[in-house]
Chain A
Amino acid sequence: MQASDRFNINSQLEHLQAKYVGTGHADLNRFEWAVNIQRDSYASYIGHYPLLAYFSIAENESIGREHYTFMQKMLLPCGLPPEREED
């Protein structure tokens, strides 16, 4: 990075982005990204009521139940994190 870069908006951009949950970075691995994707997806399903209704019909569950399961699934959407090979 050049000296002038340190003070302009671009340098702050990454810092700014890092403040949001769900943003990524160069060292993100497949698992972490997938977790973000899954959580975003569930949040989206819950947020869009028609989608939730659609899923509940497909699964033959009540909408409230479906809502609850999606919330639960957001906890560990992809299961436990894999062991790091390098450690």
Chain B
Amino acid sequence: MASLDPEIAKTQEERKKMEQQLASLTSLTFDTDLYGGSDKDSYLTSIPANEDEENLDAIDNEVARKLASYTAPKSLLKEMPSGADSDADMGFRKPQRIIDREDDYRRRRLNQIISPERHDPFSAGEKTPDPSVRTYADVMREEALKREKEETLKAIAKKKKEEEEAAKAAPPQQQQKRRNRWDQSQDDGGAAAAAPKKAKTSDWDMPDTTPGRWDATPTPGRVTDATPGRRNRWDETPTPGRIVDSDATPTGGATPGATPAGMTWDATPKLAGMATPTPKRQRSRWDETPATMGSATPLPGATPAAAYTPGVTPVGGVELATPTPGALHGSITPEQYNLLRWERDIEERNRPLTDEELDAMFPQEGYKILEPPASYVPIRTPARKLLATPTPLGTPLYQIPEENRGQQFDVPKEAPGGLPFMKPEDYQYFGALLNEENEEELSPDEQKERKIMKLLLKVKNGTPPQRKTALRQLTDKAREFGAGPLFNRILPLLMQPTLEDQERHLLVKVIDRVLYKLDELVRPYVHKILVVIEPLLIDEDYYARVEGREIISNLSKAAGLATMIAAMRPDIDNIDEYVRNTTARAFSVVASALGIPALLPFLKAVCQSKKSWQARHTGIKIVQQIAILIGCAVLPHLRSLVEIIEHGLNDENQKVRTITALSLAALAEAAAPYGIESFDSVLKPLWKGIRQHRGKVLAAFLKAIGFIIPLMEALYASYYTKEVMLILIREFQSPDEEMKKIVLKVVKQCVSTEGVEADYIRNDILPEFFRNFWVRRMALDRRNYKQLVETTVEIANKVGVADIVGRIVEDLKDESEPYRRMVMETIEKVVTNLGASDIDARLEELLIDGILYAFQEQTSDDANVMLNGFGAVVNSLGQRVKPYLPQICGTIKWRLNNKSAKVRQQAADLISRIAVVMKQCHEEQLMGHLGVVLYEYLGEEYPEVLGSILGALKSIVNVIGMTKMTPPIKDLLPRLTPILKNRHEKVQENCIDLVGRIADRGAEFVPAREWMRICFELLEMLKAHKKGIRRATVNTFGYIAKAIGPQDVLATLLNNLKVQERQNRVCTTVAIAIVAETCSPFTVLPALMNEYRVPELNVQNGVLKSLSFLFEYIGEMGKDYIYAVTPLLEDALMDRDLVHRQTAASAVKHMALGVAGLGCEDALIHLLNYVWPNIFETSPHVINAVMEAIEGMRVALGAAIVLNYCLQGLFHPARKVREVYWKIYNSLYIGAQDALVAAYPALEDEHHNVYSRPELMMFI
């Protein structure tokens, strides 16, 4: 690094010189002009996206994105990228491990410690807490200690760095060679050297020296070389050479094993005595070393120091020399196990080829085996050797391996007692269950533990029924088990690194249920639970976030506000940003669960904390999260929330200022469109702030302003917009992506506000806006692209079409295709919104010209932007497009003949878009011509294209009509018949639509025989998956029947009732009903009723179903047919077959509803008498149909008659009977309560109870 530094410095110097020269060449000193005299160096060239500090990081942007996403639920949007997953496509989703999809930040959850339980002052009453329990004071003291330690370490590091730099400055080329290690390429060295440079440039990190670096526990090896630049080396996946490395540097003087003092870092001593085998205390870097190092996690019971020694003294290698996963000591952690498994795999595949293998691979002659060059030295990787051979050093003599009868040989032990299968990772937690000790010998506590473990294992890995019962037992016995034993078992499982989504979901569910039962008993465990649950709040899975919220909300209801605050207060100014972030989110959940007012005093205190900026930052962030979480429900507390955080705008710490502005933005967004008066007090600091700040803070301030302006009244909005616009216009030039997005968003918000005048926008904003944003580069990033289009459309809504389109129309001929696409999309949206009446003749010409160019030059258009744009412009221009139509059609024709299927499809699609406009322009001849061309392309082999061609034909037929169509219908239809056989969905849909259209409007042009042929084809189409196709088919049957008479069609359909597939039969019955409707029932009923005589279940049911649909469709017309079909229904209602009765009942229902009030009561009562005995049916579909039939009767006959049927059973001695009758009575009552009054029976009075209704006896 020392050698590289001067080089880099020199290059930079040179570059700077060149830049200066360039700047002097361009005569304008634009920088000072635009940046108001400030020097540009104070600008950042970029805002780091994944800095450890939140603000604009992925999760917060979620908020920003949420604003723009009125399109679909976030869960859906999130789903989309994973939709392409091939496994998911096949319907077999592999179980996913959570850790695999987590980023580094989220993985920091594993660094957290499940803290021991705390003192519960509520249950203890006045007693002084036992010194052994952790009280609030203890925790706070620890936190303070930790912070102090951090400070000290920082100071040390700083000093060290200074010293080093000083040393570097003196002998610049001292240790050049030392860094050239075999495992580190030169590039690495370069990168490492560049890293600190970069860190230095981002100067807004200065107040807080990247906590990420320091919060990891320093491991003994690191103390020696703690320069930031080298840190990378320790983060890398461990290379086996490392051990040598740390041994070989004598500078440290202290080999890790020899410094037991170093061990104290690793595990907090307090935890060592705890019974729970938490898998991870602090996850130190040493944990990630391969298993060859010996285990870094302390063996249960062993002191940490003892655990370390084997790692360093090479003898320890023997212990794990043969990595048999079956040999499951308690000490092997899941990651180690995974690592081992993985390493074994790699070793196996990467093992060197033997000479024999090489001989087998290569031909015998023509090759020569060369001597290895003299300089060749085989790679010395002792660690790898360690894996391969059991005795790494010392005597390579043969040792008799010790026989181990208990060895598992990769076969997991059968779990006793019907327990579910255990994964290797589970042994650590559930291993005890495999010891077949006698249950009676265990102490009651141990028995309880075992019981909990068994239940948990069943929940985690069991079959659904097992899981269900286990979950229920856990819930029922929760209080019996006690909070301690339960959480001590559950929570470590949740921290297991190999956890899968499903498992986590189940365990979280357990916690939820248990919480509910334990209630106030959870108090000592609140923090423990939070540590495990908080990470869920930032999970990328929506459902995990919801689950996390639910748990925390339940937890706060169970434990109470005081306990929650006591548990989380220490985390508020934790040194780890991750902890603060999750705590803030958790706090917002607590606020929504217990009410904001309860939390306000605490929040106020936190936000004004003098002790640390972290506390203030977190407090303000809590407010932000509250706003995001509960939305418009903040309104009642808006003023107090703003007051709590407003001082943060002037905070001395930059991060606090930033988060305050972001919180204000979130509050304003949540409150929209109300609540501007609450923001009065922050307006001034905000507007002052945008003049003072730069970079990230400015971005946050602008965001806040962007959200506040839309709340204002028109007058103020216009004033403030003008104020902020100066800054915005200055920031138009910012090279930073994040700033660009925010600026665009704010412009959009300002422009859409009422008070902002079009003239102002036109004169003051547009020129700069277009100069800076309408550049090719913006089209490359998807989010920029979207934001720019949205903002431009919003501006267009104010200033009109002509201004915007006039500015960008030339760009339709730009050479960059993404850019052209962006232009086209904008034009499309603007023109669709506002129409084309503003566009003058010249612009119109340019526009069509540009669109034609862009359309023809496109190479790929998956999103159909060009097509949609073309369609939108042509449709909005309407008749004005006439002069260009020949040219457009020429293009289309040419493209229809293109080699690429996509192009042909698009051309056909374009025809269907513009057909209506062509008609408006009276270009029928042209359309006829296009029809012929399309007709010629019906032989198309790509189904997608064929579908589009059919669609285009359909649109032409629709607008020019059957008679004028060329080719004539009688030629066209026979050509379509074979296409009906095509099984492709798009083809089917378009084809059936076209055929249906012809059958509807132009059936007379086609001979009846052709129609019959089509009927047969149509039957096949009833099998289609898409409902639209089936519906179109069924309707087409109706049209055809109308055209050629029902007889033949009906015969075909009735025959089809005999087929097997249910869907086919159902569709056939619908078709019969439709035919009956279109051709009058009397043409169909005789044949249909005759068909009922076929002694075949399916046919009879089909007939009944047809009748049901038929009466549904014909409605009142049914009164002429009811007497005709009554005998048939009588028979069906008495049939033994349930389905007969069910279908007949539904036919009766439709019939009754259709003829209500038309004087068919006699027939209906007759039918009711047949329906009534079915009320005791239990099959759900049957009883449903019967009940509906009775409801229908209520409508047709009146409630009184049905009530009389009811009365006989309401007080029947048999309960089963009563239940049914009351059910009928109730639906009667709900349906026609008032009508019943006149029909209630006269009850006799009893003793002193009067039941009679004398009023009804009154008579004048």
Contact = CB atoms under 8 A, between A and B. Distances in A.
A64 interface: no
B1222 interface: yes
Contacts of A13: 1187, 1223, 1227
Interface in B1234-1254: 1234, 1236-1237, 1240, 1243, 1246-1251, 1253
B1250 A26 contact: no
Contacts of A75: none
A25 interface: yes
Interface in A19-43: 20, 22-26, 28, 30-31, 33-34, 37-38, 40-41
B416 to A, nearest CB: 32
B1044 interface: no
B1219 A17 contact: no
Contacts of A25: 1219, 1222
Contacts of A82: 1246-1247, 1249
A78 B1248 CA distance: 8
B1240 to A, nearest CB: 5
Interface in B1204-1260: 1210-1211, 1215, 1218-1219, 1222-1223, 1225-1227, 1229-1230, 1233-1234, 1236-1237, 1240, 1243, 1246-1251, 1253, 1255-1256, 1258-1260
B1184 interface: yes
Given A30-B1243, A82-B1247, A58 B1258 contact: yes
A57 B1250 contact: no
Contacts of B1253: 37-38, 41
A23 B1250 contact: no
Contacts of A31: 1249
B1230 A44 contact: no
A5 B1248 CA distance: 44
Given A20-B1226, A41-B1256, A55-B1258, 9 more contacts: A2-B1178, A8-B1180, A10-B1180, A17-B1226, A24-B1210, A24-B1229, A31-B1249, A41-B1237, A57-B1260
A23 B1229 contact: yes
Interface string B1180-1203: 100110010000000000000000
B1237 A5 contact: no
A62 to B, nearest CB: 16
A33 B1250 CA distance: 12
21 contacts: A5-B1180, A8-B1180, A10-B1180, A10-B1183, A10-B1187, A13-B1223, A13-B1227, A17-B1227, A22-B1229, A23-B1225, A23-B1229, A24-B1210, A24-B1229, A25-B1219, A30-B1246, A34-B1243, A40-B1237, A41-B1255, A41-B1256, A58-B1260, A82-B1247
A59 interface: yes
Given A2-B1178, A9-B1184, A10-B1184, A79 B1249 contact: yes
A78 B1251 contact: yes
Q: Which of B1222, B1225, B1230, B1246 has the most CB of A within 10 A?
A: B1222
Contact of B1249 (A26, A54, A78): A78
B1255 A45 contact: yes
A30 B1211 contact: yes
Sorted nearest first, the 10 A-B pairs with minimum C-beta distance are A17-B1226, A26-B1218, A58-B1258, A44-B1237, A23-B1226, A34-B1251, A26-B1219, A78-B1249, A79-B1249, A37-B1240
B965 to A, nearest CB: 49
Residue from A33, A47, A57, A59 with most neighbouring chain B CB atoms (10 Å): A33
A75 B946 CA distance: 75
Interface residues of A, number: 37
Nearest to B1230: A20
Interface of A: 2, 4-5, 8-10, 13-14, 17, 20, 22-26, 28, 30-31, 33-34, 37-38, 40-41, 44-45, 47, 54-55, 57-59, 77-80, 82
B1183 A55 contact: no
Contacts of B1243: 30, 34, 37
Nearest to A48: B1234
B1219 A23 contact: no
A4 B1230 contact: no
A5 B1249 CA distance: 41
Interface residues of B, number: 35
Contacts of A38: 1251, 1253
Contacts of B1233: 22, 40
A8 to B, nearest CB: 5
Q: From DSSP, what is the main secondary structure of chain A's interface residues?
A: helix
A24 B1234 contact: no
A79 B874 CA distance: 79
A40 B1248 CA distance: 21
Contacts of A77: 1250
Contacts of B1247: 82
Most chain B C-beta atoms within 10 Å of own C-beta, residue among A4, A17, A47: A17
A26 B1260 contact: no
A57 B1219 CA distance: 42
A87 B1229 CA distance: 31
Contacts of A34: 1243, 1249, 1251
A59 B1187 CA distance: 42
B1258 A24 contact: no
Contacts of B1215: 26
A28 B1253 CA distance: 20
A1 B345 CA distance: 55
A45 B1234 CA distance: 10
Interface string B175-188: 00000000000000
A29 B438 CA distance: 59
A80 B1219 CA distance: 27
A56 B105 CA distance: 81
Contacts of B1222: 24-26, 28
Contacts of B1223: 13-14, 17
B1260 A54 contact: yes
A35 B1200 CA distance: 19
A30 B1236 CA distance: 17
Nearest to A1: B1178
A24 B1233 CA distance: 13
A22 to B, nearest CB: 6
A24 B1230 CA distance: 11
Contacts of A28: 1222
Contacts of B1183: 10
Contacts of B1237: 40-41, 44
A2 B1181 CA distance: 13
Contacts of B1255: 41, 45, 55
Contacts of A30: 1211, 1243, 1246, 1251
A23 B1248 contact: no
Contacts of A57: 1260
Contacts of A47: 1234
B1225 to A, nearest CB: 6
Nearest to B1221: A26
A41 B1210 contact: no
Contacts of B1219: 25-26
A28 B1226 CA distance: 12
Nearest to B1178: A2
A4 B1182 CA distance: 14
Given A10-B1184, A79-B1248, A24 B1240 contact: no
Given A17-B1226, A41-B1255, A79 B1180 contact: no
Contacts of B1180: 2, 4-5, 8, 10
